[in-house]
Amino acid sequence: MRMGGDVTYNEVEEEEKVRNEEEVEEKMVIQRKYAVAGGGFPPMTKGVVVGYALTSKKTKSFLQPKLEGLARNKGIQFVAIDPSIPLSDQGPFDIVLHKLSGKEWRHVLEDYRRNHPEVTVLDPPDAIQLVHNRQSMLQDVADLNLSNAYGKVGVPKQLIFKKDPSSMPDALNKAGLRFPIVAKPLFAKSHELYLAYDEFSLQNLEPPLVLQEFINHGGVLFKVYIVGEAIKVVRRFSLPDVTKPELSKNAGVYRFPRVSCAAASADEADLDPCVGELPPRPLLEKLAKELRRRLGLRLFNLDIIREHGTRDRYYVIDINYFPGMATVHHMYSNITWLLLW
């Protein structure tokens, strides 16, 4: 079975795209009526001003001509924020869209939110911090422990290790972790990960680390992009499965930079249906809804794997705030909807 083409749940997601665009138009008409009647919505002649504070790389990848054109047609104007100038001296903005790092920037945003409660900040800095730290990143998924008729979603068994590497064997034993083990930096600024086959090699890595059980998943992961209430899923190649004979023969630690990058797309690959079949949409919709509420985020993505040999056992292994959107440009209409509402 060929798992090729645009992985958007085919006709279902195409209908959703059209429906979302129709909903935007309908809501804009309603907004105009409320504005005329004094119902509290800002007049559409004013438009929506979105101040964006992004790195140059993020600006280039996010503000694509297609998005800017679509936004302009909806009355949305993007204005660059200068971090060297006080934020309150810029604007006025209806929305602040951001992805800059550093404590100073977080303090600037928090002060701005307190002084300008009428401005929507996408997303709140304190909520973003939760997914920047891998110790707290997956906690809401674990607490949710989602299980329904479509499947079960959990997180891999993991250990946060900050101590002397010589104490690692005892810590692994107490946590019930077995090799191979995935090791990641505690703070999600780095997308690098390591696959370790033995204790000696693992001790060569510098803490703080997240040590996570490796779950065979057919070498494919699913990136679930969430924009407001909309979701889209694409496939990415991932780490290959590790068999017992390979585990007994291999040793060392192997570095993998940014495994789930766009260049590793699996959308056009010939895959076993048991590996390439997308997670059930009702399950993802329930998961996305709960995590939006628990995390307080509206613009993020999940990396999900399906345990190889099962049809309905899924694990969230990573959460990223404001991910790269170039590969899911079909969601641009959803982004404009999010900015309008």
Q: Which residues are annotated as a binding site for ATP?
A: 134, 184, 212-223, 238
d(CA 262, CA 292): 24
d(CA 154, CA 221): 15
What residue numbers does the annotated binding site cover? 58, 99, 134, 184, 191, 212-223, 238, 303, 318, 320, 324
What residue numbers does the annotated binding site for 1D-myo-inositol 1,3,4-trisphosphate cover? 58, 99, 191, 223, 320, 324
What residue numbers does the annotated binding site for Mg(2+) cover? 303, 318, 320
CA distances in angstroms from 3 to 10, 269, 274, listed in the order given: 11, 6, 11
Q: One-letter amino acid identity for 244? A: K
Please identify which residue in the block is written with the tokens 């992009």: 225
| CB-based burial label for 245 (10 Å; 0-12, 13-18, 19+) | exposed
| CB-based burial label for 273 (10 Å; 0-12, 13-18, 19+) | exposed
CA distances in angstroms from 31 to 25, 41, 42, 227, 338, listed in the order given: 10, 6, 8, 21, 15
What would the two tokens of residue 43 be? 């007049």
What would the two tokens of residue 148 be? 């329904």
Please identify which residue in the block is written with the tokens 């404590």: 103
Length of the chain: 341
